[in-house]
Structure 1
Amino acid sequence: MRGVEIVRMTGFRATVVVQEPADCPIADVSAATDDPITSVTRSRAAIDGTVVEEFGVAADASAETVDASTAAEMTPVQATDREEIYRFERESTADCACEIIERTGTPISSVRAHDGALLLTFRTLDLEEIADIVDGLRARFDGVLVEELTQDHEDDSSDRVIVDRDLLTTRQREILETAHKLGYFEYPKGANATDVAEELDIARSTFTEHLAAAQTKLLDALLEE
């Protein structure tokens, strides 16, 4: 068996990408601007559950572009030479990717957006919880991928597990290797899903399907006792 040894330890940090989060104002704005949105804050009103969000865009993004990219009513609240901050309100909804994660009891530590996709980062002690969160997101959205999975390293507390590379089909390995080579898993991205699909000469949907299947196999292998 050809394998690679992975050290499994307590404490995980995962970044999940939702490629097409429907009706997400922040993702909509990121699709219309050149720079990624990296500063997002969220709060919930105690009485009616209204969610208030703020996010920053590069100062060279015009207010007209921001307003035209989403149906949400945007209110500018601060401006600097580098960044402009906008605020909007929305009703709490079961279709929100952030709320799907937080309903599991796992808080989101970082919300980012780029090219119309959401990048959601959270921490958990249980690897199985990450798989459950990904399954919940995939039940609602297409193109849900684990972009990053890291662990705190402690030499005296480790659980080594062998992941068999032959779990993946030749095509899945080719897709993972091509995506990695082009910088798909980097942030900011060296390539998006369309770029990788074009390099492989396949449809974008085919790329995301193969990538999701490969990641599911790898997660399943990590979770096996």
Structure 2
Amino acid sequence: MGTGIRAEIRVDPDGTCPIVEASSGLGSPSYTIARSVTGSTAERVNEEFILESGGDPEASVELTEVFDYGAKRMYRFSRERGRGCPCEIVEVFDCPIVDLHSRDDSLYLVFHAADMDTLQETIVSLQDRFSEVDVRRLLRSEHDAPEANLVLLDRSRLTDRQREVLETASSMGYFEHPKGANAGEVADELGITTSTFSEHLSAAQSKLMDAILDV
């Protein structure tokens, strides 16, 4: 048995998700999204989701109300696969989605990747398709390791600027060996001084280390 990684990703689906359309139109988050595929070649996908009641949701597909919980209502829709929505991209990498909901015009997906390479490939594929992809949390497990050794990384501990510094440095190869870019080159890309880059990087790394060491 190997290690696995649980990831929570926020994606702006760019008009590919009827659930986000319906949720945004009513100004209500969605809950308990369920997915299934039908047909001998799985050519269609069926989805159900729950919204707060108080209006008729609209989306680019036909929505059918299937259950009334009183304060909430469940809706269902069916459509062809292959529209390139975030869920389909994640599932290409054999990563079943275990939790899915929409909030503030974004889709939040939780899934398990078999290893770091699979996770990186999944994130890169999402970034190639969508303009906004944010890794919110990562939880990495180790086989036969005690629960205390599980590592939770919560990106909300970082400021927007600290995340930008880390992402730019990583994309330019600053953390590689040998380095793909030095501190001055990354700072120039960010439009800041080298000393300011070092300060942001040090603060971000300190927060990540505190999370890893549970400080």
TM-score under structure 2 normalisation?
A: 0.66
What is the CA deviation profile of residues 29-88 of structure 1, one whole-angstrom value per residue up to 9, with x for unaligned ones?
A: 12223332121011111236111111000123x11xx02xx2211111110122100011
SS of 1:138 mapped into structure 2 = helix
Task: Report the equivalent of 2:82.
Answer: 93
Checking the alignment, whether the CA contact within 8 Å between 2:139 and 2:150 is kept in structure 1 is: no
The SS at the match of 1:134 is helix
Aligned partner of 2:18 in structure 1 is 25
CA distance in 2, matches of 1:216, 1:150: 20
Cα 1:215–1:109, aligned 2, differ >3 Å: closer, same or farther?
farther
> What stretches of structure 2 of length at least 5 have no aligned partner?
177-215
* CA gap 1:176/1:142 in 2 versus in 1, 3 angstroms: farther
Q: Is 1:177 aligned with 2:166? A: no
Q: Does 1:110 align with 2:99?
A: yes
2:36 to 38, 43, 48: 43
Supply the AA of the counterpart residue of 1:102: E
Q: How many residues align?
A: 167
Letter in 2 for 1:58: E
Structure with more contact order per residue of length (Cα contacts < 8 Å, sep ≥ 6): 1
Q: Residues 54-203 of structure 1: matches in 2 within 5 Å? A: 54-60=48-54, 62-63=55-56, 66-67=57-58, 70-152=59-141, 154-155=145-146, 177-179=158-160
Do the aligned residues in 2 keep the contact of 1:111 with 1:119 (CA within 8 Å)?
yes
**2:27 equivalent in structure 1:** 34
Matched with 2:196 is none
Partner of 1:166: none
Deviations 1:154-195 (A, max 9, x none): 3499699xxxxxxxxxxxxxx97334xxxxxxxxxxxxxxxx
CA shift digits 1:101-130 (9 cap, x unpaired): 101111111111111111111012302211
CA distance in 2, matches of 1:94, 1:76: 23
Shift in alpha-carbon separation, 1:145–1:72, aligned structure 2, 3 A: same
Query: Higher Cα Rg: structure 1 or 2?
Result: 2
| Percent of aligned positions that are identical | 26
2: CA distance between counterparts of 1:94 and 1:58?
27
Q: Is the 8 A contact 1:146 1:215 kept in 2?
A: no
Look up the equivalent residue of 2:26 and give its one-letter code: T
Q: What do you get for the CA RMSD once the two structures are aligned?
A: 3.4
